[in-house]
Amino acid sequence: MRRPFARALALGAAAAVIPLASPAPATADSIVIGGYPVETAQSPWTVALSSRDRFGGTRAGQFCGGVVIARSTVLTAAHCLSAAVLGAPPSRIRDLRIIADRTDLLSTQGKEIPVRATWVNPDYDSSTNAGDFAVLTLASPLPESSVIPMASSADPAYAPGTAAVVYGWGDATGSGDYAHSLRAARVQVLPDEACEEAYPGDGDGKYLAGSMLCAGELAGGRDACQGDSGGPLVAQGRLIGLVSWGSGCGRPGSPGVYTRVSDVARAFGRSR
């Protein structure tokens, strides 16, 4: 289904219903669909967004991913902070935090840092999903070693065929099996045409090459999934995308759509 996690969550109890829209057989080892376990030590810039108030404490309140782009700055998806997901404006979520250095959400490893301020891209368009990014300012800084550089538009990592890795604590099968330990999946940057064909705008989103990035496997199998949103897509040591949306997870012909990080730098610079 093309609805972002946002809308899935808004339906509350419908969490059990949403996956019906993607009956693709859940591969046993599916992420982050088709993924494998990783440690946050290997990707210290991958953080979890948490609110136990809103999402309960079983998985430390995790509801989206985020990426550390400066010591006190985390990038995530705009739709993660929408009222549809949070049930209120982000400023009203008293216990909004990021969790760093915690591979397993059931452990107490690493640290939880309160979010001091949120900035949601004012140009985010929930009908096309364009401009799906937001910036969180942390109450205290993370070490410099947690920061990942952002790709600029000229970055060679945007070339189709580039190997990339996506990270997250999201649904690992497409059936609502939220991971409690971090996973990663190897995907490749796909030509814009692959997503333009898959997402012409007749569903819940329209692929727009200027602000989005297409990645996955043409044959399906490896992909991000619900709960991974806002998390990083990394290639050649740089952040190139943020998990944003897709139709189902890991389905052939329906690649993952990511926020194009080079566009974030541009848009963020302009709007502030």
Give me the residues that bind ligand ARG (CB under 6 A), please. 4-5, 170, 223-229, 243, 245-246, 249, 256
Closer residue to ligand ARG (CB): 4 or 44? 4
Closer residue to ligand ARG (CB): 148 or 243? 243
Closer residue to ligand ARG (CB): 43 or 62? 62
3-state secondary structure string across the chain: CCCCHHHHHHCHHHHHCHHHHCCCCCCCCCCCECCEECCHHHCCCEEEEECHHHHCCCCCCEEEEEEEEECCEEEECHHHHCHHHHCCCHHHCCCCEEEECCCECCCCCCEEEEEEEEEECCCCECCCCECCCEEEEECCCCCHHHCCCECCCCCHHHCCCCEEEEEECCECCCCCCECCECEEEEEEECCHHHHHHHCECCCCCECCCCCEEEEECCCCCCECCCCCCCCEEEECCEEEEEEEECCCCCCCCCCEEEEEHHHHHHHHHHHC
Name the minimum Å distance from CB 212 to ligand ARG: 11
Name the minimum Å distance from CB 246 to ligand ARG: 2
Closer residue to ligand ARG (CB): 147 or 258? 258
Active site residue 229: yes
Active site residue 254: no
Name the minimum Å distance from CB 166 to ligand ARG: 8
Of 22, 43, 51, 132, catalytic: 132
Dist. CA 52–CA 74, nearest whole Å: 19
Which phi and psi (to 5°) does residue 95 adopt? Answer: -110, 30
Of 82, 175, 211, 229, catalytic: 229
Active site residue 204: no
CA distances from 108 to 103, 112, 196 (A): 10, 9, 42
Dist. CA 260–CA 75, nearest whole Å: 12
Closer residue to ligand ARG (CB): 185 or 267? 185
Of 79, 155, 175, 254, catalytic: 79
Closer residue to ligand ARG (CB): 147 or 205? 205
Name the minimum Å distance from CB 18 to ligand ARG: 11
Name the minimum Å distance from CB 269 to ligand ARG: 25
Name the minimum Å distance from CB 224 to ligand ARG: 4
Could you list the active site residues? 79, 132, 229
